[in-house]
Amino acid sequence: MFFWNIFNRPQLNDILDILIVAVLLYHLIMLTRETRASDVMKGFVLLIVACLLSGMLGLTALTWVLNLILNNGVIVLVILFQPELRHILEQLGRGAKFDRSQLKSNEDNARIVSEITQCLLNLSRRRVGALVVFEQKTGLKDVIETGTQLDSDISAPLLENIFEPNTPLHDGAVIIRGTRIMSASCMLTTLSESTAITRDLGTRHRAAIGISETTDAVVLIVSEETGVISMARGGKLTRHLDAAAISDILSSMYHQPQASLFERVRGWLKGVLHSEKKDA
């Protein structure tokens, strides 16, 4: 009767229900892949299978114990998957912090891309460690407040001077919001626990991957030991970046989209009003 109902009388809400659950399970698996939570999930699935088998075999005491554990499974899951659940909630409540309407002209943005690229190449050549975090839609105010507030224009000499060894601000991360260097010597407290990270990567790389796992920030890293330039985004690390790759990454963030007709008219009206105020 059960299988007959499934294959012969599926309702639209049943199909929708199954699809939603499948999507949620898929995203849960993807979020916990290559983390310690994946092993926990496997153990939880085995617990469910053991409960079903014990019920079929008539093991009353064991079934009672396993049912007691599974009945409190929601609380257990919240405790075990707290980092992953926080990541999902952050994505749902993500507000636009990197407002592209605040970007400067294409010429200024090209200059910023060139300045950052040149800085990273110079640091790589000298094997000076660096950690640059580019804020996107997830706000990084809590991280910015852990460092020294700057709120300055982006320039290669300033960035190089920040990461210069034995200077007050060299230890920690630089946070960039749009076209401004917001803060330096910031502490990234969340270190990635991914099993895919090789042993030759130190704390700087783990911190970069960690913040990219919990936010949508883009992080550029210069290794102090090898001078290799890497990028962390979405919990993934891309290594051995050259000048062209760095420029492409930065250009994609600082690309100025073509203004719509409405935006151009609004800009023209603002200019006219500003001109009339000056004449008055």
DSSP 228-274: -EEEEETTEEE----HHHHHHHHHHHS--PPPPHHHHHHHHHHHHHH
Q: Are residues 84 and 160 in the same domain?
A: no
Question: What confidence tens digit (pLDDT) does each residue in 164-194 have?
Answer: 998 999 889 999 998 899 999 999 988 887 7
pLDDT tens sequence across 21-72: 888 878 767 766 655 566 667 777 888 888 888 888 888 888 888 888 777 7
Q: Which domain holds residue 146?
A: 100-253
Residue 237 and residue 112 in one domain: yes
Same domain, 110 and 247: yes
Shared domain for 104 and 62, answered yes or no, is: no
Domain identity same for 147 and 88: no
To the question of pTM greater than 0.85 for the whole model, the response is: no
51 and 26 in a common domain? yes
The verdict on 169 and 45 lying in the same domain is: no
Does residue 162 sit in the same domain as residue 68? no
Does residue 184 form part of some domain?
Answer: yes
Same domain, 151 and 237: yes
Q: Is residue 187 part of a domain?
A: yes
SS3 193: coil
